[in-house]
Amino acid sequence: MGVGVIGAGVISDKYLTSLTSFPDLRVLAVADLDTARAASQAAKYGVPGAGTVAELLADPAIELVVNLTVPTAHVDVGLAALESGKHVWAEKPLAMDRQTGRKLLDRARERGLRVASAPDTVLGAALQTARRAIDAGAIGTPMSALALLQTPGPEDWHPSPEFLFQPGAGPLLDMGPYYLTELIQLFGPIHRVTGVGGRARDRRVIGSGPKAGTEFPVDVLTTVNALIEFERGGFAQAVFSFDSGVRRFLIEVTGPGGTAVLPDPNQFTGDTVLHRRGTEETLAAQGNTAERGTGALELARAIRAGVPERASGEMAYHVLDAMLAVEESIAARHPVEVTSTVDVPPALPVDWNPYTATL
């Protein structure tokens, strides 16, 4: 399947490394508002085309657009791709609000096209191994979970972190999708949320790169705590913080038979540790070794096979709906019900291989 990548920023390196290694995909062009940056990334990864977004969308050989733009542009770029007759893989969050997220998904359905969305870490070997173990009853039916995303903030390492502290990002909308998407795989759809939150500082300073030392405003909550209740039963406590001096990236899931400690849900690798009645068992990750871009490949294969994709736009919409409900709960100081729902896809077969030609 012919692929075009829109957005040649920091994350494009990870995507292009994977996308250009999959025999089922052909990356044909990279586009960016900065066409010189697009050309540089295209040359770096051996992609034959580079230029403007309009040029990429006009190429009939491109069937799938991988949208790596900033959150505020996700829907506009996605709609333009759909109007050009192309399927869309979107970076998270799917949209800035429910109305435009729904508009994107509805337009895809009207045009007989598909929208799928990050995160695709849930398709990686680490989280798939954890899911298969829990689905098989390793700890019994999950009852509760603890999800922790704690860091001092991305401004220390990201050369242009300003957008991560603007509406559509922050620790909840930027990092929450990794944690909530994985929790939904294990517990099912979210029913109700209760949130509290705050902001440690109104301004931050870029710590690396050509803009090091530059001060910028913070316009989002930088610590959010949420109590999450699931439709099928069970609950989770979650902390999303860019204010912590302690770094934690994990999900712990507890059932009547023990607790599973999952690896960082923002990564594709890592062990799962099962704690059961005084024993400890480490499960090494088993399965595909691909990283970001796995979801775009799984989408392409699903399109060709005429079956649902796993990292669906509906999943991303439900996650967005839940995150916005957390924000609304914080503002209103009471629980908020999540009105959307989603079907949880099956786990990937352990022998699913991104490096085998199937199309």
* Res. 206: pLDDT tops 90: yes
pTM of the model: 0.95
Tokens of 159: 């050369």
Q: Which CATH class for the 2-117+293-308 domain?
A: alpha beta
Given a contact cutoff of 8 angstroms between Cβ atoms, the answer to whether 131 and 348 are in contact is no
Which residue is listed with tokens 């294990």? 186
Dihedral over Cα of 340, 76, 345, 183: its sign: negative
Q: Residue 187 belongs to what H/E stretch?
A: helix 176-187
What is the reported pLDDT for 297? Answer: 98
What is the tens place of the pLDDT at every residue in 291-347?
Answer: 999 999 999 999 999 999 999 999 999 999 999 999 999 999 999 999 999 999 999
Mean pLDDT of the chain: 97
Q: What is the mean pLDDT of residues 48-77?
A: 97
What is the reported pLDDT for 288? Answer: 92
Within 13 Å, how many C-alpha atoms sit on residue 240's CB side?
A: 28
Within 13 Å, how many C-alpha atoms sit on residue 53's CB side?
A: 21
Do the domains at 2-117+293-308 and 121-283 have one common CATH topology? no
Tokens of 113: 């096209």
What is the tens place of the pLDDT at every residue in 122-142?
Answer: 999 999 999 999 999 999 999
Distances (CA, A) of 53 to 39, 57, 122, 258: 12, 6, 29, 50
What is the tens place of the pLDDT at every residue in 152-204?
Answer: 999 999 999 999 999 989 999 999 999 999 999 999 999 999 999 999 999 99
What is the tens place of the pLDDT at every residue in 274-293?
Answer: 999 989 999 999 999 999 99
Delimit the domains of the chain by residue range: 2-117+293-308, 121-283
Please state whether the peptide bond connecting residue 263 to the residue before it is cis, i.e. omega within 30 degrees of 0: no
What is the reported pLDDT for 168? Answer: 86
Is the domain 121-283 a CATH 3.30.360.10 member? yes
What is the reported pLDDT for 332? Answer: 98
